[in-house]
Amino acid sequence: MRSLWPRPLRPGDTVALVACSGPVDPEALETGVAVLESWGLRVRLGSTVHTHHPHLPYLAATDTARARDFCDAWLDPRVAAVLAARGGYGAHRMVDLVDWSALRRATPVLFAGSSDATALHEAVATHVGTPTVLASMPATSLFDPVAAERLRAALFAPEKPRRLPSPAAETLRGGRARGRLVGGNLSVLAAGIGTGESRPAHNGIVVLEDVDEEPYRLDRLLTQLLRSGWFDEAAGLALGSWTGCGPDHVVRAVLWDRLGPLGVPMAWRLDFGHHPGSLAVPLGVAAEFDADTGTLTFPPTS
């Protein structure tokens, strides 16, 4: 992996908003664009943020169109960052249509997104080799002032040393761990097993979250990753929010039953995922995880 971030954003830069997954709500898009412009940025809207797939209502456009939009934004020399407008479903469908060799030859740009964009975080890491940012997306209801400020800080100063505390986190197994940050949305990671972009968590600090998955489904997804060897030699487990996944005590029991036997530092309810004020977590960078306080620090302290 490249050791350097793409250059930080500066006022006057252009950022591109692209629809890699589901259709974008026009009102949420307008609100998100206004926030980005308030940071002194110019916003370039991909053509797919205003369209729908001709036959499949859960997609923003055809796979070819969404892949072309993503590539065009990345390869535009005026664009300093590519941001997923929203999640939903569909990023996995377009990964094989992206010209990754062209993106690898281009000047690196920042990429940010979450949820279904996990598929693109994995693909960028595999094919381009630059760190990315797991964060709330501008055209969503969760892009509140706190989440927006956290994304702004991550984009304007990605290499700045930072501590990401989560006061509401609960320790499941204490201790500290060091490693690269890897992960994202649990169901999207599980769906990627067996593909060329699936990167095991070896020696990494795993960040995981999900939304609206019943406890037995969380169990199945975690079991799939465990049986595939994805968690082998993980250094630590930083587990975020599980909005709409059932009663806390049941979700906690599932996470402990499936992941506790790994025997590594582990905490849950960290402040990232599908909830207001989500942290902006870098992926692919060296970090330290303190499971006793639920804090991520990057780079690791000496």
Would you put residue 83 in left (φ > 0), alpha (ψ -120 to 50) or beta? beta
User: What are the start-end ranges of the H helices in the chain?
Assistant: 26-38, 63-75, 91-94, 100-105, 118-127, 145-156, 186-191, 215-228, 248-259
**What are the φ and ψ backbone dihedral angles of 100, each rounded to 5 degrees?**
-65, -30
Catalytic pick among 92, 122, 166, 209: 209
Is 27 annotated in the active site? no
In terms of Cα–Cα distance, which of 120, 114, 76 is closest to 94? 120
User: What are the start-end ranges of the H helices in 260-294?
Assistant: none
Catalytic pick among 53, 92, 121, 274: 274
Catalytic pick among 21, 114, 115, 166: 115
Would you put residue 263 in left (φ > 0), alpha (ψ -120 to 50) or beta? left
Burial class (CB in 10 A: 0-12, 13-18, 19+), 75: middle
Burial class (CB in 10 A: 0-12, 13-18, 19+), 38: exposed
Amino acid found at 64: T
| Dist. CA 121–CA 118, nearest whole Å | 5
If you search the block for the tokens 């997104």, which residue do you land on?
Answer: 113
Is 115 annotated in the active site? yes
Burial class (CB in 10 A: 0-12, 13-18, 19+), 286: middle
Is 127 annotated in the active site? no
Active site residues: 115, 209, 274
